Structure 1
Amino acid sequence: MGIQSVSFIGLGALGVLFGSQMNLSLPKGALTFVADEARVKKYKEKGVYANQQFCDFDYRTPESIKKPVDLLIFSVKADGLDAAIELAKPIVNEHTIILSLLNGISSERILGSVFGEDKVLYSVAQGMDAVKVNNILSYHHMGMICFGDQEAGETSKMTKEVAEFFDRTGIPYEVDTNMIKRQWGKFMLNVGVNQTVAVYRGNYGTIQVEGEPRETMIAAMREVIRIAQYEGVTLTEDDLSYWLNVLNQLNAEGKPSMAQDVEAGRKSEVELFAGTVIALYKKHKLAQPTTNQMLYENIQHIDSHSV
């Protein structure tokens, strides 16, 4: 029968983006957004919109879902993952497939340690230029979800089931048989673009043209290339060029998530990006990554003045 039910935990930009697309083709009740009672009440009162269209989502507490779901997608911020895991426990069984749309390179390992590595596929979301302000999401490019198995070269039954489900619901996707490298590539991109746009208070257009912000972004990305090899992952200048090309396709007026967080006065995910890079350089006893150190200090300063 394949995947018949799907739940998201997290009503951020990616949850709304991909959830609204799935909702167009799934029967009522097949897609749910899971949250605690207070959030469910807030979601129902305020609603959410994607490109000016109201999203008729089914918001549920985990206790109100009668049986475990076939596909569970985490779309929260990194600092919300622990709470999301607790919410998810009642709706996961041995057949549930788990995807994480979180930034960084650690969420799958965390989810696997709780629910079992055999339930977790590795994934990244890329190529979208979605901007969410309060309960309104706008985007020009939906981007896609790249996913696959942890082990390079494999294409499991779970991966094939998710691919069939995405075909059925119109989700753009790519199956990658080297997901660890893909994740590190996306991490490299996020370390560069998220932090640079946040510090320079710009948008994608800021780093799509030559100048200091673009040079800063590329320098931060090259520091990830260096540390990746110490972690057993080979990234090259060709990979850098690939991700820069992904950036070039985005709406110049769009902004990455960290820039949106900074503008809204929310705490950033700097520990997930520069914080991780700096920690890995220390782990391998390398001289500090100067560009990421500069970005880290600047964003920490911004965070200290957030509401």
Structure 2
Amino acid sequence: MINRVCIVGAGVIGSLFAGHLAQVCDVFMLTRRREHAGALNREGLRVSGKSERHVRVRASADAGTLPSFDVGIIATKATGLRGAAEALEGSFPDATMMTVLNGLGAEEIVREHGAWPIVSAVTFMSGTRHSDTHVEYILDTETWLGPYEETPFERVEEIADLIVSSGLKAEALPDLRPAQWSKLIFNAAVNPVAALTGLPHDPHFSAEKEPTDLGHLVRGLVEEGKAVAEAAGIELNDDPWAMNVLATERGSAHYPSMLEDVEAHRRTEIELITGSLVREAERHDVSVPLHTALYGLVKAREDSW
């Protein structure tokens, strides 16, 4: 029975989970900033858009003040993951931790800091942050969950059922890697391109009519990613190119987080996304010149601030 959930990271994804799960269980939020926690405690958390909710949550910027919980949903940016895992280290021994970050490798970082059972997850839902206490729910798509190491699949199903009961979409999978890699290739083909061009994820990303259309580059990135997945023995859950086309046809241009980070002169998630793909390519001796170029360009863009 899951009665208490802690959301680690109060950005868009963490807030969407919190705003929905607070309807079906007790929700605590671990924030990076004290003023963010204070605002949530005073005003509650509002979700608008695909669903309308205003819920009470308990928030803190100090993990040591949190009560015990059954499930921790780690929804930080990649750049904040290690700090969050360090904050949880040595505490909450009875909890199951679920990582829901872009890219590969989040579970290994969490494992360095505790022996908790871990559930791997990737999510396709998205939204827009309007303030510390208000997020807009834009894409009401699924979160996929799977066991990491020896975590029982029954625990994964229990968490997925809780998420669904809150009004979000989720599916438990015995092996998350095919879904994880589909999302990885999709993100690695879209996020760095958005970050470097300044374009939101709109029809430019699937256009291939003219020789200079951006879709040619995006398709090339997808094909390189698929070659790495094949070499790694991964049969993809969904075709990343089809995912890209579908997203551009939804009628609402989404701003990838990497674009937002670049515009705000923040460090991006390039390491866990493109960096992890390039490292997997090297491991399997697969040439990925397009991804290697974008990896270097985004890193250089970060160094320019």
Normalising by the smaller structure, the TM-score range is: 0.7 to 0.9
Please report the TM-score for the alignment, with normalisation by the length of structure 2.
0.84
Tell me if 1:58 matches 2:58. Answer: yes
Offset at residue 283 of structure 1 (A): 2.9
In structure 2, C-alpha distance between the alignment counterparts of 1:165 and 1:283, rounded to whole Å? 38
Conserved in 1, the CA contact under 8 Å of 2:9 and 2:75? Answer: yes
Corresponding residue for residue 80 of structure 2: 80
* 1:72 partner SS: strand
In structure 2, C-alpha distance between the alignment counterparts of 1:137 and 1:148, rounded to whole Å? 27
Which protein has the bigger strand share?
A: 2
In structure 1, C-alpha distance between the alignment counterparts of 2:23 and 2:88, rounded to whole Å? 24
Q: 1:250 to 1:22 in 2, by over 3 A?
A: farther
Q: C-alpha deviations, 1:200-237, integer Å up to 9, x for none?
A: 2111213244463222122112111111233232349x
* 1:121 partner SS: strand
Corresponding residue for residue 188 of structure 1: 185
Corresponding residue for residue 227 of structure 1: 228
Offset at residue 109 of structure 1 (A): 2.7
Aligned length: 293
Conserved in 1, the CA contact under 8 Å of 2:6 and 2:28? Answer: yes
* 2:101 partner SS: coil
RMSD: 2.8
* 1:124 partner SS: strand
Conserved in 2, the CA contact under 8 Å of 1:129 and 1:250? Answer: no
Conserved in 2, the CA contact under 8 Å of 1:140 and 1:251? Answer: no
Conserved in 2, the CA contact under 8 Å of 1:148 and 1:155? Answer: no
* 2:272 partner SS: coil
* Identity within the alignment, %: 20
In structure 1, C-alpha distance between the alignment counterparts of 2:59 and 2:30, rounded to whole Å? 6
Bigger mean CA offset, 160-169 vs 44-53 = 44-53
Conserved in 2, the CA contact under 8 Å of 1:204 and 1:251? Answer: no
Aligned positions of 1:210-249 closer than 5 A: 210=208, 212-235=213-236, 239-248=239-248
* 2:113 partner SS: helix
Amino acid at match of 1:89: E
Offset at residue 3 of structure 1 (A): 0.3
Q: 1:41 to 1:132 in 2, by over 3 A?
A: closer
Q: C-alpha deviations, 1:47-95, integer Å up to 9, x for none?
A: 66533876643112322233x210100011112112111222354223x
Which protein has the bigger helix share?
A: 1
